[in-house]
């Protein structure tokens, strides 16, 4: 299992057989790419569902978070637009069916060989509003954060948010998180060593210090965690803040201090 930072692109990821995960099956034509491999702590698949094809969950072992990248879908007969999230908790029953034009769907979950990252009961399926449970403007970083799953649900600890930045900046503000995460670029280019276009997944292990930048024209990415996220800002490899709750920060209750752009990893 790799630790640190792993970067992969959907278009360069191998086509694989439909994953044999607990409580999950498919109907119809579904093409799958393994983007962040199932031997990592967090996993990402990219499924291309043909029109009318579907993925089913029947009491899965772990929770699953889906992002409808394009097209449209139905979840238990409820319509879901493109650029929307779906939360399938462990121990729940659900079916996601592609609409008339098909749908590419990003599929996140924790590794099934690891112990569960939650002790909550599960059993539910959530379709968050497209505009999120809440949204947070960050004028100091020229950004907006939209949170679809905030790890504060009574029955699951899953997290998914979108960050969009309008102004270019160099790779800066080094930090680390208490949990593993997968970042997926959906618009513009995100800088992590190189310029990464839409379709790029960046998996970062817990307590790995890293930084990102924003290319000209801005960028946007979604971010998946399997448990409640906290962040520490760092400089030259040492923390300069305590752990800060990202839920509190993104609901305007605990701002994350802006670091000098010259701060180094």
| Residues 188-220: tens digit of each pLDDT | 999 999 999 999 999 999 999 999 999 999 999
> Which residues share a beta bridge with 135?
146
Write down the mean pLDDT value for the chain. Answer: 95
**Per-residue model confidence (pLDDT) at position 263:** 52
- Structural domain boundaries, residue 159: 134-250
Structure confidence at residue 264 as a pLDDT band (50, 70, 90): low
The pLDDT value recorded for residue 259 is 80
Spell out the residues 6+ positions from residue 236 whose beta carbon is closer than 8 angstroms to its own.
263, 264, 265
The DSSP secondary-structure symbol of 197 reads -
φ and ψ at 212, to 5 degrees? Answer: -135, 160
At 261, is the pLDDT very low, low, confident or very high (cuts 50, 70, 90)? Answer: low
One domain for residues 27 and 108: yes
Report yes or no: 163 and 145 within 8 Å, Cβ to Cβ: yes
Q: What is the pLDDT of residue 79?
A: 95
Q: In this model, does residue 182 exceed pLDDT 60?
A: yes
Task: State which of 126, 158, 173 marks the end of a domain.
Answer: 126
Can you tell me the distance from the alpha carbon of 233 to that of 59, in angstroms, rounded to the nearest whole number?
Answer: 38
In this model, does residue 265 exceed pLDDT 60? Answer: no
Predicted pLDDT of residue 255: 85
Question: Angle 188-191-197 (CA atoms, 0-180°, nearest 5)?
Answer: 35
- Among 69, 97, 126, the domain boundary falls at 126
Q: Both 79 and 155 in a single domain?
A: no
In a domain, 260, yes or no: no
Question: H or E stretch including 248?
Answer: helix 246-250
* pLDDT of 1: 62
Note whether 213 and 191 are within 8 A (CB).
yes
Distance of alpha carbon 182 from alpha carbon 171, whole angstroms:
18
Q: Do 138 and 246 reside in the same domain of the chain?
A: yes
Residue 48 lies in a domain: yes
Residue 197 CB burial class (10 angstroms; 0-12, 13-18, ≥19): middle
Alpha carbon distance 63, 111 (integer Å): 10
Tell me the C-alpha distance between 144 and 125, whole Å.
Answer: 26
Q: How many domains does the chain have?
A: 2
Q: For 115-151, what is each residue's pLDDT tens digit?
A: 999 999 999 999 999 999 999 999 999 999 999 999 9
152 plus 203 within the same structural domain: yes
146 with 90, same domain: the answer is no
Mean pLDDT of 160-167: 98
- Chosen domain end from 97, 126, 155: 126
CA 115 – CA 136 distance, rounded (Å) = 32
Contact, 8 vs 36, CB < 8 A?
A: yes
Tell me: do 22 and 106 sit in the same domain.
Answer: yes
Encode pLDDT of 36-95 as tens digits.
999 999 999 999 999 999 999 999 999 999 999 999 999 998 999 999 999 999 999 999
Residues 91 and 157 in one domain: no
Q: What is the pLDDT of residues 215-224, one digit of tens each?
A: 999 999 999 9
Q: Are 122 and 165 members of one domain?
A: no
């Amino acid at each position: 299992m790799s630790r640190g930072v792993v970067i992969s692109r959907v278009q360069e990821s191998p086509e694989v057989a439909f994953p044999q995960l607990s409580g999950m099956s498919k109907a119809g034509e579904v093409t799958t790419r393994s983007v962040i491999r199932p031997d990592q702590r967090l996993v990402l698949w990219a499924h291309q569902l043909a029109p009318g094809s579907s993925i089913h969950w029947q009491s899965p072992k772990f929770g699953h978070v889906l992002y409808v990248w394009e097209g449209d879908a139905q979840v238990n007969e409820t319509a879901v637009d493109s650029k929307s999230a779906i939360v399938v908790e462990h121990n729940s029953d659900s079916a996601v069916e592609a609409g008339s034009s098909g749908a590419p769907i990003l599929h996140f979950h924790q590794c099934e060989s690891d112990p569960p990252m939650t002790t909550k009961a599960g059993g539910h399926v959530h379709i968050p509003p497209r505009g999120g449970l809440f949204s947070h403007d960050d004028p100091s970083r020229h950004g907006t954060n939209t949170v679809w799953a905030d790890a504060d649900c009574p029955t699951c600890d899953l997290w998914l948010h979108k960050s969009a930045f309008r102004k270019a900046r160099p790779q800066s503000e080094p930090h680390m998180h208490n949990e593993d995460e997968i970042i997926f670029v959906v618009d513009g280019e995100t800088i992590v060593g190189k310029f990464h276009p839409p379709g790029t997944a960046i998996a970062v292990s817990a307590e790995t210090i890293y930084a990102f930048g924003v290319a000209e024209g801005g960028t946007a990415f979604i971010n998946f965690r399997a448990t409640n996220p906290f962040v520490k800002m760092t400089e030259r490899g040492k923390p300069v803040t305590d752990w800060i709750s990202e839920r509190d920060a993104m609901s305007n209750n605990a701002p994350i201090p802006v670091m000098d752009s010259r701060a180094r990893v």
